[in-house]
Structure 1
Amino acid sequence: MAFAVNQDMVDRMRSVSALQAEAESESDVFKAAIKHLQEAGLEEVLYTPARQFGTYSERIGSYWSLTPRARPWAIVQPRNTEEVSKALKALVKTNGCQFAIRSGGHTCYPGSNNIVDGVTIDLGLMSQTEYNPETKLASIRPGGQWTGVYNTLEKLGVMVAGGREGLVGVGGLLTGGGKTYYTCRVGFACDQVVNYEVVLADGTITNANESENPDLFRVLKGGSSNFGIVTRFDMKTFPAHDVYDGIVTFPPSSGDAVIDAFIDFTKQLHVVDDAHILAMWVSMSQRDIAMLNGIPVDPAQPPDLTMVSMINMIMTQLDGVEASPSLERFMNVPNPINNTMKHTTLAKKVAGFLLPSNREDIWFSLNYKLDRRIIAKNVEVYDRLVKDIGERSPGCVIQMVLQPFPTSFGKHSTERGGNMFGLERFKDDSVLIIVAVEGSTPGFYDMAFPIFKAAVDEIEDYAKSVGGDFEFRYLNYCDGSQDPLSTYGPENIRKMKDAAAKFDPTGVFQTKVPGGFKISKVKTPE
């Protein structure tokens, strides 16, 4: 009997064949790590290229970006906090064994959440979200993605201030700080966490909150993976309700008007906190633009690789108000091409707002003072970047996203006990930018990285030259070559170093976990 075989089936069969033919490492360290993990009772959730190869391949393929899809010696997927403790103790006692920690796997620079010569602890089976109506707290496991969190909580009539894109993972966003739709009202996502359940380097399971391990509690708010593996976040909730949200698309010729509206909006966030915006300069194919705007596309239609440049204003009125004064100036920008504004919920919004997947990705982030000259320089450099990289890699996606970063964000954090960012020390409003490029042509990453980094360096140098430098880098957007922890201020650097020495005295998370930003690499303030 004949049957149809589509390309997806062919790719899967090729993948399985390749994995079956792949031998396991001959390393004695690998063999010892496997032995220790098996002795810890983790055989059922231990995957290697030669054993449970289907699940091994599936977990590697589940990374949003191609860039971190390394092939570790093995993947271990704990099902609960106790198994995280067992896995951690097994790997720590394996001499010479390094390991990676993955929650959602959305960070895209190489080595951030995966490893080659080592073992990846994959928290993907720990993705549950629970709600306690008495405490009004949501208990969220680290391996979930925000689409699932929001779907669960909205059905219960509540919401949390979490990620803004459906595939972003819980653990990385919250330990890195977490910019949310509600930062203008309640600070960062980490400011809404009231308790962390943490597995320390020696396997001890503990809690960190205002009364229990308060020093650990504080540094986990933005200090990333330097202190332990967080296995549960207890977060404040608020009533769920509709928002008025969508994308209004403009041609590049409307850029000056968008910049003026952006500056006015940022200034008014000190007194008005009812809306959230992203100003996105984007160059991609018509097909990708349609997908980003939620417009149905024919999957059988081959994509047109011709790059098109547009400005997408991604706007969310948090109270569901259509005629919001906060967004009026954006709505009055001339020559709109498309408008998808509508009433929706956050769960539906993030489920539909997905960046293109299965490409190699490079992200860089900067902050600089709110200055029209620097924004104009951004646009100038971006236009050259589109030309330089676009000519070398047809079909790539290049984005520059401007986000308001007023001083009120730091005030909200301080009111809630503070975090590691140290934003309270700044007196000037700023702009948070992410410049991102995605491509799938052979050798894309190696080709694009130096061009991309030079462009970001040019923006940073220009900001410094006009007195617009802002010494803060948002960790969750940074490339691995950047150094966000060093920008948190001397006091917070000391707090992180002290906490790392206290809760991880043997330096497990500094030496055996090479991925991520390490507080040990930051110079101790004098």
Structure 2
Amino acid sequence: MPSYNAAFYASTIFAYLIHSVAANTCSQVGALGLNIKRSPSIEYLTEQNNYWSTGCGALKPACILYPKTANEVSAIVQVLHDNNETFAVKSGGHNPNEGFASIQGGPLISTKELNEVTFDSTSMTVRVGPGNDWEDIHKALQDTGVTVVGGRIGEVGVGGYVVGGGLSFLSAEYGWAANNVVEFEVVLANATVVTASSKSHPDLYKALKGGGNNYGIVTAYTMVAHPIGQIWGGNLMFSGDKAPQMLAAVRNFTENYPDEKAGIIMTAELTALGAVDIWIMFLFYDGPTPPPGVFDMFTNIGPIVNNCKTRSYYDLLKYNDFAVVKGSIYTITTETVPLPSFENGAEVMGAIYNNWRNTTKGILGVAGVIGSIAFQPIPKRLARKARELGGDLIDLDDDVDRIVIEFNYSYLFDIDDKTVDQATQQLYKGTRNLVTGFQQSGKLPDAYLPLFMNDWCESYFRQDYFARLRTADFARGVRDQYDPSGFFRDRTKGWKL
């Protein structure tokens, strides 16, 4: 009993000290005149409700800080240095990994007020702040005749998306979103504000393109502006029994990528007790109508719904927000698969799909569960375009076509966290084992298969993102140069080197 009491009192004192430090940070930042909100203010509660996953919103920060400039972010970082505590930075709140953009008890830095959208027609660039969602940016640019390479759902935030690489409907045409960044304005671990570009801090510039939150807090992105007019897009829906045709079609589309202006996401959905069993496709074409034949391999299967039409890019991204299921806990994980040959396609694609389907059927009793698998083509032309634009940490080669596969569960109650966690692990581990087995049998090519950090999909917190990057040594060296004390490594959660 005495040892128990000692442990109890020690833990109580530790918790008190942590709370006191957080409270001190909140007070010190408030004393600087910066915008700060605490519970139960409306702003605080609204921010906490603005996570895609309620599991993240359930974590309660001691306060929420709203810097409006890079210098204010710098001031916050300096206070955090002095108080030596854990913190988090939030952009759109899309990442479902708890603690990555959310925090219990510590300060949360919201980038909401860093919401600049400025088009410079002379340089053909757009300066955007990390506090924007992509629909905010496209709405602001609607009448300019230009766009930037960004997310495929309007409610996805800018911040984490870009430093994770950023897969876009425009990526086959223009590369990852990160390849389209001309400059990063970033607050470093020592609280200095620098501009990272191909000419200034070029090593940091490259590391930020796929390096996540390891190097600093980005306060602005200057991105290439691309011309755009009316686009075409929407959804096709198919019954669940169309799996063989759908899998064959996405394989063929990826290998024979018909047009760099085209983009797709192909998903299958299963819901609690098997009430819904469907395929939903997201289609995009950078033009008012796609040429004949671009999407025929899908439309020939016979969709039960086809709402694709000519519209503005903003309208499409805003419409795609329907895919966000509010009021649920999320887990998301990914795997990268080399494209199988036509001869082996049915076996390989079918095995991956069946692993998802069988695993998901095993948890359909979980309250409110929705299971989703998404197939996202990464054609060779995307890899070539990324390299032409200076490269990034992902460092794809064009030796093979690839498909990034996302697995997504949403469900209602945290009592099911363990069950869903086990199923999520079975999805990415099972897929990885299938890929390895097919490579050993010669049914899949050996290939470099990095994980994908951020976009519509994320790696799961249990996955080791950097272990799968062949640029990890470079990334680590840049981190050690710009954050030698491990400020972001030790004080924030995320995928760390």
For residue 466 of structure 2, what is the amino acid of its counterpart?
L
Partner residue in 2 for 1:460: 432
Partner residue in 2 for 1:339: 306
- 1:396 aligns with one of 369, 379, 389: 369
Partner residue in 1 for 2:7: none
1:430 lines up with 2:398 in the alignment:
no
Q: Does structure 2 retain, via aligned residues, the 8 Å contact 1:317–1:324?
A: no
Partner residue in 2 for 1:277: 264
1:364 lines up with 2:333 in the alignment:
yes
Cα deviation for residue 442 of structure 1 reads 5.1
For residue 92 of structure 1, what is the amino acid of its counterpart?
H
2: CA distance, partners of 1:175 / 1:466: 32
CA-atom RMSD, angstroms? Answer: 1.9
Write the mapping of 1:91-490 to structure 2, written as runs, cut at 5 A. 91-95=80-84, 97-269=85-257, 272-284=259-271, 307-334=275-302, 336-354=303-321, 355-371=324-340, 372=345, 373-393=347-367, 395-424=368-397, 427-441=399-413, 443-467=415-439, 468=444, 470-476=448-454, 477-489=458-470
Partner residue in 2 for 1:33: 25
Residues 231-256 of structure 1: CA distance to partner in whole angstroms, max 9, x if unpaired?
Answer: 00000011121122111111122222
Is there any run of 5+ residues in structure 2 with no aligned partner, and where? 1-15
Cα deviation for residue 455 of structure 1 reads 3.0
The share of aligned pairs that are identical, in percent, is 23
For residue 330 of structure 1, what is the amino acid of its counterpart?
F
Residues 415-442 of structure 1: CA distance to partner in whole angstroms, max 9, x if unpaired?
Answer: 0011110112x62211110000101145
Q: Does structure 1 retain, via aligned residues, the 8 Å contact 2:332–2:406?
A: yes
Partner residue in 1 for 2:10: none
Partner residue in 1 for 2:477: 498
Partner residue in 2 for 1:9: none
- TM-score, with structure 2 as normaliser: 0.90
For residue 461 of structure 1, what is the amino acid of its counterpart?
N
Q: Does structure 1 retain, via aligned residues, the 8 Å contact 2:183–2:223?
A: yes
Q: Does structure 2 retain, via aligned residues, the 8 Å contact 1:360–1:444?
A: no
Is there any run of 5+ residues in structure 1 with no aligned partner, and where? 1-23, 286-304, 520-526
Cα deviation for residue 154 of structure 1 reads 1.6
2: CA distance, partners of 1:268 / 1:170: 31
SS in 2 for 1:110: coil
Closer, same or farther: CA 172–442 of 1 in aligned 2, 3 Å: closer
For residue 30 of structure 2, what is the amino acid of its counterpart?
Q
Partner residue in 2 for 1:81: 70
- TM-score, with structure 1 as normaliser: 0.85
2: CA distance, partners of 1:427 / 1:72: 46
Cα deviation for residue 306 of structure 1 reads 6.2
Partner residue in 2 for 1:509: 488
For residue 275 of structure 1, what is the amino acid of its counterpart?
A
1: CA distance, partners of 2:18 / 2:212: 33
1: CA distance, partners of 2:357 / 2:491: 41
